[in-house]
Amino acid sequence: MKILVTGGAGYVGSTCTAVLCEQGHDVTVVDNLSTGSREAVAEKARFIEGDAGEMADEILSSGDFDGVIHFAARSLVGESEEVPDQYWRDNLGTTLKILNAMHAHDVKNLVFSSTAATYGEPETIPITEDAPTNPTNAYGATKLSIDYAIASYARAYGLGATSLRYFNVAGAYGSVGENRRIETHLIPLVLQVALGHRDKILIFGDDWDTPDGTCIRDYIHIRDLADAHLLALETNKPGVHRIFNLGSGEGYSVKEVIEACRRHTGHPIPAEVAPRRAGDPAKLVASSEKIKKELGWNPTRTDIDTIVKDAWNFTKNLGDRAYSAGQR
């Protein structure tokens, strides 16, 4: 298939691009490099530097694209509450431009990168796709609003689309992993301590209503996540919008993640309890039964040790390329 990948220089987008190229697809990446990096894009892919929303019409006007995987977005929960205007513009605004370009050029196959943040504080665990959606931050709200837009384009214009709601994506695949200029995620931060780029990891609260008092999350390996995008792309049907959760179904606490990192790095990783972080729910665990049943998705890297091992192999080989080098 000939596929346009927006945001294909970011962590998730570049992994999916690598897997698409490995499987023989013809991939064009558009990315403005605001958070992604050019080196992360697979060599076989065609790369266009620019704004996905601004360029979608021109790119798709060649008329021979089979589908779009749309990753390009802002994705920091805390930041979205500080500058919501930028989140609505770059998430909803950009997606509407892409949807309109797809409609104009008769491209009817879309996979959309969404998030568990669309659900907000869950009423029941594990979270299924029919759980109430009450996002607690602007990031989740922008992603949820896009689902409404996609659903209406599916009904009116025959778009075939899948929204994939990710839980905590982690791990690495080949030469692609987490190496952000601004890092807020638990596993890469803990590994920065093991690299010597940070003195300690802060645990945001140990008085949560969980067995060890720290928050529980569902970590999904980036390679398993990439497989789900390919399955979605291959099975989209015109006029149908599907929503699937993507997690491993296993919950690990912050302390358990830090322990796994100690095991794999051999570093003591000093940790210090800090106040709770605003907006954190105590426990988020996905039910991914729907995508397993309907698409035959079969994640094979679901234990925290595999995820941490792959993340560490990637992180320790970064050397000078680690954005965290020099931070303490």
Where in the sequence numbering do the catalytic residues fall? 139
Question: Which of 58, 101, 90, 83 is CA-nearest to residue 138?
Answer: 83
Nearer to ligand UFG, 1 or 125 (CB): 125
The two beta strands, 252-253 and 216-217, are antiparallel
Question: Which of 71, 98, 243, 231 is CA-nearest to residue 162?
Answer: 243
Does 204 engage in binding with ligand UFG (CB under 6 A)? Answer: yes
- With CB under 6 A as the contact rule, the residue among 94, 168, 179, 287 that binds ligand UFG is 168
Are 219 and 251 spatial neighbours (Cβ–Cβ below 8 Å)? no
Q: Which stretch binds ligand UFG (CB under 6 A): 2-10, 43-51, 114-122, 289-297?
A: 114-122
- With CB under 6 A as the contact rule, the residue among 75, 91, 113, 288 that binds ligand UFG is 75
Are 74 and 87 spatial neighbours (Cβ–Cβ below 8 Å)? yes
Sign of CA dihedral 314, 319, 321, 327: positive
Does 315 engage in binding with ligand UFG (CB under 6 A)? Answer: no
Does 327 engage in binding with ligand UFG (CB under 6 A)? Answer: no
Q: Which stretch binds ligand UFG (CB under 6 A): 4-12, 13-21, 43-51, 113-121?
A: 113-121
- With CB under 6 A as the contact rule, the residue among 29, 101, 186, 311 that binds ligand UFG is 186
Nearer to ligand UFG, 63 or 275 (CB): 275
Q: Could you tell me where the DSSP H helices lie in the chain?
A: 11-22, 52-60, 77-82, 84-87, 94-104, 138-157, 186-195, 222-235, 254-265, 289-295, 304-316
Q: Which stretch binds ligand UFG (CB under 6 A): 37-45, 201-209, 291-299, 305-313?
A: 201-209
Q: Draw the binding track, 282-311, toward ligand UFG (x: CB under 6 A; -: no contact).
A: --x---------------------------
Does 103 engage in binding with ligand UFG (CB under 6 A)? Answer: no
Question: Which of 172, 187, 166, 114 is CA-nearest to residue 297?
Answer: 166
Question: What span, in angstroms and rounded, lies between the C-alpha atoms of 311 and 222?
Answer: 10
Provide the binding-site residues for ligand UFG, judged by CB under 6 A.
75, 77, 115-117, 167-168, 184-186, 189, 201-204, 215, 217, 254, 277, 280, 284
